[in-house]
Amino acid sequence: MDSDDTRDFELVARLKRLDAGGGPVTPGFDYDSMLERHAAGIARSRRRLALARGAAVALVVALVGASIWRLDQPETDPEDMVVEASPAPVPQPRMVRADTWLAVAALEDHIASVDDALNFARVRGGTADVARLERTRAELINSYRQVRYAEMVSANF
């Protein structure tokens, strides 16, 4: 197994060439070039800042102009409007069918969260919290009963 050489010969040759030519590496620029690069970077950042400020000022001017334009709109007088004669309103039924699914789901979720808080308060031993949560739960159950009763009554009509 020692005779099997699995090294990459190309990589080894490159590394040997790098070791052979290992003179001091000099950067591609001098101190003056570094200062010029720094000054150019500062100039770029100033241009970007000026552009951002200009965009912000333009946005503020546009918003103020739109606000003033809306304030300058003439108000219409109700006396000038033509009123069409409409028939007398038809009496509406007192009971209106409405979908109560979302209300019931929200009440059930709220009751479940109050039950969780009530169990936690009982384990922790806070009697004031338990009493407050039991009152809240009773109010929610009462609301739940009223919604279910309204569903039942509206289903019978």
Tokens of 8: 């990459």
Q: Is 93 left (phi over 0), alpha (psi -120 to 50) or beta?
A: beta
From CA 100, how far away is CA 149, in angstroms rounded?
Answer: 11
CB 104 within 8 A of CB 144: yes
CB 74 within 8 A of CB 124: no
Amino acid at 38: H
CB 133 within 8 A of CB 114: yes
pLDDT in tens, the chain (157 residues): 455 556 678 888 888 877 777 666 666 778 888 899 999 999 999 999 999 999 999 999 999 988 887 776 666 665 555 556 556 666 766 655 567 788 888 899 999 999 999 998 899 887 888 999 999 999 999 999 998 888 888 777 6
Q: DSSP string covering 75-113, please?
A: PPPTTTSPPPP-PPPPPPPS------HHHHHHHHHHHHH
CB proximity list for 134: less than 8 A, separation 6 or greater: 118
Q: Which of 133, 145, 134, 135 is nearest to 108 (CA)?
A: 145
